[in-house]
Structure 1
Amino acid sequence: MTEVASGGGGSYDVPMDPGSLVAGRYRLEEELGQGGMGAVWRAVDLELGREVSLKRAIAGSAGQIRREARVGAGLLHPNVVAVFDTVVDGDAQWLVTEYVQAMSLDRIIETDGPVPESRVLAIGAQLATALVAIHQRGIVHRDIKPANVLVTEDDVVKLTDLGIARWTEVTQTGGAQLTGTLGYVPPEVANGAEANAASDVFSLGATLYAAVEGQSPWGDGADGPFSQIQRAAKGSPLPYQRARQIRRLLDALMEPNPADRPSAAEAAALIQGADLPRRSWKRRLRPVRRGAILTAVAAIAVVSAVLLAWFLPRGPEAPAAKSNLIGLGADPAAVDPCAAIPTDALREFGEAFVDPEVRNFASCVISSTLKDGSGQVQSALEFTGPEEYPSRPVVPGQMGEIERPDETESNCERAVNLPDGNRLTITSYRIKNAKQAKLCPFAESLMQDVLATLSKGPLPPRPELPADSLLNVDACTLLNTAEASQAIGEASDPPDADLGHWGCTWDGKANEVSAAFTREWTIEDDDDWGGKVIKVGDRNARLIPDPDNKAVCTAMVVHWLYKPRLPVLEGTDEMREEVVSVRLVDKSAASSAAVCARTRAAAEAVVRRLPDVP
């Protein structure tokens, strides 16, 4: 699938070729299409090493390019194509945006025909949350239509093309102009009024109408644009042919009178089947059947999470604690990460089993036995503190954009910065066969479910563990600065602590040593770890040189062996171990043996400070 540029036909006057450089930084790779404002290219940002989209303004449209850049600047939302920059190359103006590997909704309709109602609900939920974000910034999009809705293979939706959007506080001079696309304009705009937030909601409904019916509510334009504009002006959409369970939802979104339409936030809640205070549209709207929503892709579940993120109070009058509505609460180390996973998570893929006794204390794992019996996929949830060097802007108090790296041969990852400053990462990977299973649908579905859970408030506290459990130990106290410096040379003071202080890293000039807690099946009997079983003090351990890098060695030291309080995954070891993983990196090392000797010495110092075995 390829990204489809929004807009209709267009031309540009200076041809560009693949391999051409724009502003000395962006290498053009592939022309994706031409829109009303210019040509759209897939390109590579040579400075940051990432793919981007470049839109080149045609003659007379540079102003719209600049407007789109201003409107999109700072609008970071998982369902809006991110705007990065504008650059000038010679006489040409270019807009630099996020590159999305996706197909436009109008192309999906054209290729596959009308979209099932369950999928329309999933698409609509994401579009509504995008509109909430846009309207919260005082912006009206003014051109919501299927061509401006990008849908990825995983059914993640991205709203694009802010070229004719405007701020609502801009003063109009002269009469209103007909903006948007004829098939999706609301009655008030067709009658000459200026588009506003309610107009966007109408166009959202018209877009969903087109998805389920296969054409716009004003017809396909075969009988000429005058017929479309007449129907729009009268507010008389064509009768439904295919819509069944979402008719009243569409009726509410496409109310002829703007004052009677729900807001974008209310539209998002309606798509979820929420019960809202009565209004004229509410009296005529029956709740969408719950079963229809449950059959939609998991993207619907994120609506409440994103809504809360964008409704966080802003300004000096807002209590500071409100910025943590979506997050881990006042004490991130005290919450139970497994409580973020709903009981029905990933059930659409097969039998799911949640295991709270693996990885570190800020993690939880869910294993899925696939319906077709081909194997198992495991998805790991982990909370961490803020990134030291974030890959994209972080806005305190606002939900970050969900990061979606491409699937690799071994895993698929999804990550997001939470409004409270902490970070959520979900990684899916195969643990038993399942060679044909696509991993990203697992990671995407679980991400949406977890965000929906977090939107309901802080997670409950984790179950109590023995006082001498590593849960209650500060990893940064296990080595002092002198001991860390003996291992790696001049060590940082203070060291860098992970979330909950369950991991700590001491940096040297080119080396580092770290101590981190994890929970594993018994490591002494598992030769898959490599290395050799040794004693460190009075503790069992494994000393493991990295087979591919002589600069790295790890000592895994057993703190205690215990039986989990809950049943374990069938076919796995009934016992678990709390483990301290001591890892040393020395880039100047002559051999792995020398690195492992210093790793073992550091582990000996760590063991001396561990509490007694519970």
Structure 2
Amino acid sequence: MVTVFDTVADGDAQWLVTEYVQAMSLDRIIEVDGPLPEARVLRIGVQLATALVAIHERGIVHRDLKPANVLVTDDDVVKLTDLGIARWAEVTQTGGAQLTGTVGYVAPEIANGGQATAASDVFSLGATLYAAVEGRSPWGDGSDGPFAQMNRAAKGSPIPHQLARRLAPLLDALMEPDPARRPSAAAAAGLLQGHDLPRRSWQQRLRTVRRNAMLTAAAAIVVVGAVLLGWLLPRGSAPQTAAPPTTTPPPNSIGLGSDPATADPCALIPVTALREFGKAYVDPEVDGFATCVITSNLDEGIGQVQSHLVLTGPEEYPSRPVRPGVLGEIERPDEKTDRCERSFNLPDTNRVTLVTTRLDKAEQTRLCPIANALILDALTVVLNGPPARRPELPANSLDKVDACRLVDGADAGQAFGKPSEPPVADFGNWGCSWEAGRSELSIKFTRVWPIEPDAEYGGKVIKVGSRNARLIPDPDDKTTCTAMVVHRQYTPKLPVLEDTPEQRQEVVSVVLEDPTAADPTTVCARTEAAAEAVVRRLPDAG
């Protein structure tokens, strides 16, 4: 695939910044040179089939494979281009009824209003190779108009071969009218690689082709680059996704890297994110260290929405099986009144979650199109390999602290009893929890607006050791209390969002849930005692 480096938007115009390929399109080669020799067609075909394997393995359907979208260098290195109408099959809900692809290379099921699938890509591969062999589309050269081509395509009646000779059975297999009877892209790669075997049906031949033939062919193609092309189609339509990542990485290389806690969650949000929805502000220095907050000022002053992209480890109780080494599908719960959530599991078992909520005056705004756009942007980044690392924080930052080391058994015992299980650490060790019977003590590191002057936090301002804190009884649960303890105050490196404080604070939140407590005062007293134990083990705030 052609590498995509960046995107540029200028008003309604959108541009992709791609690598420059010193090559000629296959349709131009056919126009200049005429029908190609069998050996060259096979070299081109095996590379195209391997490229399809790479994108189909990621659930992506190209939907417009044709000679004009195939670049061929002087030494016959092939690059498949123009995923402008590609869609990720797992998240696509539409695709039937509306013709996708180019008429001269479209599969019969698409011409009849069906949905684009991996099988229709295989047909277009066969049609492209047919053109390389015969010098024209299987549905005609278009001189009698696109409707004539469409009619032939809908009937599944290609113009008979004139020049294909030994390649005719292979092309017929790839262009089988019944999509269920076509070989997969991987099978097609094997057939093309093993073209010198005796003539038999493609199913018989495939059994004799070594399973690694496709991998051998992969050495001939550089499958590179990935970019979400969703901005090339309306966000209101079914979500789009990206081209495959650099060099078809092994599944376990798609993840957060060797040290997941250092991954920058904001690196999963490209600079072009949400431009069509309004002005977006990306804040890397609020909430958790594994969180990126995106606030969108919607066009025409209709309000704000806010999205939180969060990196986590595996769920304790996943809603569906997590398969190490396999990129999970995007999970899309129904939109709720005030939020839309999207998430997917990475092959390294870590997880990306995106939650979009309404803020000021955005009651009529649909949240899920925004969440869909952002989660697909994030998917694009991780398909390219591990995301960039977070900027280094000061040595006294909480991001260097292991939350589970801030409480020992004696501290927990004084707060709510002897823990019944070892502590459970959160992602990055930026949180930890202990259980004793029905009670639970938890610690979490967050970055917030200054807590002392902001009455909206509730509770009361206190001192825990020498540090400012807020002690906040839960207004809805009389058995829960939270102590928010300030660790350090800092100035964000980026300009803050308009009408928000200039300073931020790193805070340790200590939460005690104790259903056995007699009253809220008792719970909060124990919470404060646990917070005092935590403060004694915190590093100097400097």
TM category, shorter: 0.5 to 0.7
User: Does residue 461 of the first structure (1) align with residue 461 of the second (2)?
Assistant: no
- Deviation at residue 258 of structure 1 after TM alignment: 2.8
Which residue of the other structure, out of 441, 451, 455, is the alignment partner of 2:369? 441
Give secondary structure in 2 for the equivalent of 1:595. helix
Counterpart of 1:232 in structure 2 is: 156
User: Does residue 541 of the first structure (1) align with residue 461 of the second (2)?
Assistant: no
Counterpart of 1:579 in structure 2 is: 507
User: Does residue 302 of the first structure (1) align with residue 237 of the second (2)?
Assistant: no
Counterpart of 2:530 in structure 1 is: 602
Asked if structure 2 preserves the Cα contact closer than 8 Å seen for 1:183 and 1:216, the reply is no
Question: What one-letter code is carried by the residue in structure 1 that aligns with 2:174?
Answer: P
Asked if structure 2 preserves the Cα contact closer than 8 Å seen for 1:559 and 1:579, the reply is yes
Which residue of the other structure, out of 419, 423, 432, is the alignment partner of 1:491? 419
User: Does residue 183 of the first structure (1) align with residue 112 of the second (2)?
Assistant: yes
- Deviation at residue 346 of structure 1 after TM alignment: 1.0
- Deviation at residue 432 of structure 1 after TM alignment: 1.9
- Deviation at residue 423 of structure 1 after TM alignment: 0.7
CA distance in 2, matches of 1:125, 1:264: 17
CA distance in 1, matches of 2:373, 2:118: 30
Counterpart of 2:122 in structure 1 is: 201
Q: Kindly tell me: are residues 491 and 292 of structure 1, through their superposed partners in 2, closer, same or farther at Cα, counting changes over 3 Å?
A: closer
Asked if structure 1 preserves the Cα contact closer than 8 Å seen for 2:471 and 2:482, the reply is yes
CA distance in 2, matches of 1:151, 1:355: 34
Q: Kindly tell me: are residues 595 and 216 of structure 1, through their superposed partners in 2, closer, same or farther at Cα, counting changes over 3 Å?
A: farther
CA distance in 2, matches of 1:527, 1:368: 25
User: Does residue 360 of the first structure (1) align with residue 288 of the second (2)?
Assistant: yes
Give secondary structure in 2 for the equivalent of 1:573. coil
Q: Kindly tell me: are residues 197 and 575 of structure 1, through their superposed partners in 2, closer, same or farther at Cα, counting changes over 3 Å?
A: closer
For structure 2, the residue ranges without an aligned partner over 5 or more in a row are: 1-55, 62-81, 99-107, 128-144, 161-170, 177-181, 189-227
Counterpart of 2:404 in structure 1 is: 476
Give secondary structure in 1 for the equivalent of 2:513. strand
Which residue of the other structure, out of 504, 509, 516, is the alignment partner of 2:444? 516
Q: Which residues in structure 2 correspond to 1:330-369 (within 5 Å)?
A: 330-369=258-297
- Deviation at residue 441 of structure 1 after TM alignment: 1.2
CA distance in 1, matches of 2:111, 2:232: 34
Question: What one-letter code is carried by the residue in structure 1 that aligns with 2:123?
Answer: F
Q: Kindly tell me: are residues 199 and 518 of structure 1, through their superposed partners in 2, closer, same or farther at Cα, counting changes over 3 Å?
A: closer
Residues 315-364 of structure 1, C-alpha deviations (whole Å, 9 max, x = no match): xxxxxxx4432211000111222111111111110001111111110111
CA distance in 2, matches of 1:362, 1:388: 18
Q: Kindly tell me: are residues 310 and 423 of structure 1, through their superposed partners in 2, closer, same or farther at Cα, counting changes over 3 Å?
A: farther
Counterpart of 2:459 in structure 1 is: 531
Asked if structure 1 preserves the Cα contact closer than 8 Å seen for 2:479 and 2:520, the reply is yes
- Deviation at residue 291 of structure 1 after TM alignment: 9.5
User: Does residue 377 of the first structure (1) align with residue 305 of the second (2)?
Assistant: yes
Q: Kindly tell me: are residues 349 and 262 of structure 1, through their superposed partners in 2, closer, same or farther at Cα, counting changes over 3 Å?
A: farther
The two structures, once aligned, show a CA RMSD in angstroms of 4.2
CA distance in 2, matches of 1:503, 1:570: 30
Counterpart of 2:87 in structure 1 is: 125
Q: Name the structure, 1 or 2, with higher relative contact order (CA <8 Å, separation 6+).
A: 2
CA distance in 1, matches of 2:375, 2:146: 31
Counterpart of 2:174 in structure 1 is: 258
Residues 150-180 of structure 1, C-alpha deviations (whole Å, 9 max, x = no match): 339xx9xxxxxxxxxxxxxxxxxxxxxxx98
CA distance in 1, matches of 2:409, 2:403: 13
Q: Which residues in structure 2 correspond to 1:145-294 (within 5 Å)?
A: 150-151=93-94, 183=112, 201-202=122-123, 219=151, 231-234=155-158, 258=174, 294=232
CA distance in 1, matches of 2:503, 2:468: 15
CA distance in 2, matches of 1:291, 1:203: 21
Asked if structure 2 preserves the Cα contact closer than 8 Å seen for 1:121 and 1:300, the reply is no
- Deviation at residue 78 of structure 1 after TM alignment: 7.4
Question: What one-letter code is carried by the residue in structure 2 that aligns with 1:183?
Answer: N
Give secondary structure in 2 for the equivalent of 1:414. strand
User: Does residue 423 of the first structure (1) align with residue 351 of the second (2)?
Assistant: yes
CA distance in 1, matches of 2:508, 2:349: 27
Asked if structure 1 preserves the Cα contact closer than 8 Å seen for 2:473 and 2:524, the reply is yes
Asked if structure 1 preserves the Cα contact closer than 8 Å seen for 2:84 and 2:232, the reply is no
Counterpart of 1:93 in structure 2 is: none
Asked if structure 2 preserves the Cα contact closer than 8 Å seen for 1:497 and 1:505, the reply is yes
Question: What one-letter code is carried by the residue in structure 2 that aligns with 1:258?
Answer: L
Residues 167-205 of structure 1, C-alpha deviations (whole Å, 9 max, x = no match): xxxxxxxxxxxx9899379xxxxxxxxxx9766633899
- Deviation at residue 595 of structure 1 after TM alignment: 1.0
Asked if structure 2 preserves the Cα contact closer than 8 Å seen for 1:397 and 1:420, the reply is yes
Asked if structure 1 preserves the Cα contact closer than 8 Å seen for 2:86 and 2:241, the reply is no
Give secondary structure in 2 for the equivalent of 1:303. coil
- Deviation at residue 571 of structure 1 after TM alignment: 1.6
User: Does residue 593 of the first structure (1) align with residue 521 of the second (2)?
Assistant: yes
Q: Which residues in structure 2 correspond to 1:101-140 (within 5 Å)?
A: 124-127=86-89
* TM-score under structure 1 length normalisation: 0.56
CA distance in 2, matches of 1:584, 1:458: 36
Counterpart of 2:326 in structure 1 is: 398
- Deviation at residue 451 of structure 1 after TM alignment: 0.9
Residues 470-527 of structure 1, C-alpha deviations (whole Å, 9 max, x = no match): 0100000110022112222221453100111000011121111011100001011111
Q: Kindly tell me: are residues 184 and 571 of structure 1, through their superposed partners in 2, closer, same or farther at Cα, counting changes over 3 Å?
A: closer
Q: Kindly tell me: are residues 370 and 393 of structure 1, through their superposed partners in 2, closer, same or farther at Cα, counting changes over 3 Å?
A: same
Give secondary structure in 2 for the equivalent of 1:234. coil
Q: Kindly tell me: are residues 594 and 477 of structure 1, through their superposed partners in 2, closer, same or farther at Cα, counting changes over 3 Å?
A: same
* TM-score under structure 2 length normalisation: 0.63
CA distance in 2, matches of 1:559, 1:356: 18
Asked if structure 2 preserves the Cα contact closer than 8 Å seen for 1:198 and 1:258, the reply is no
CA distance in 2, matches of 1:214, 1:489: 78
CA distance in 1, matches of 2:83, 2:262: 36
User: Does residue 389 of the first structure (1) align with residue 351 of the second (2)?
Assistant: no
Q: Kindly tell me: are residues 362 and 205 of structure 1, through their superposed partners in 2, closer, same or farther at Cα, counting changes over 3 Å?
A: farther
CA distance in 2, matches of 1:205, 1:516: 56
Question: What one-letter code is carried by the residue in structure 1 that aligns with 2:347?
Answer: P
User: Does residue 569 of the first structure (1) align with residue 497 of the second (2)?
Assistant: yes
- Deviation at residue 295 of structure 1 after TM alignment: 3.9
- Deviation at residue 235 of structure 1 after TM alignment: 5.2
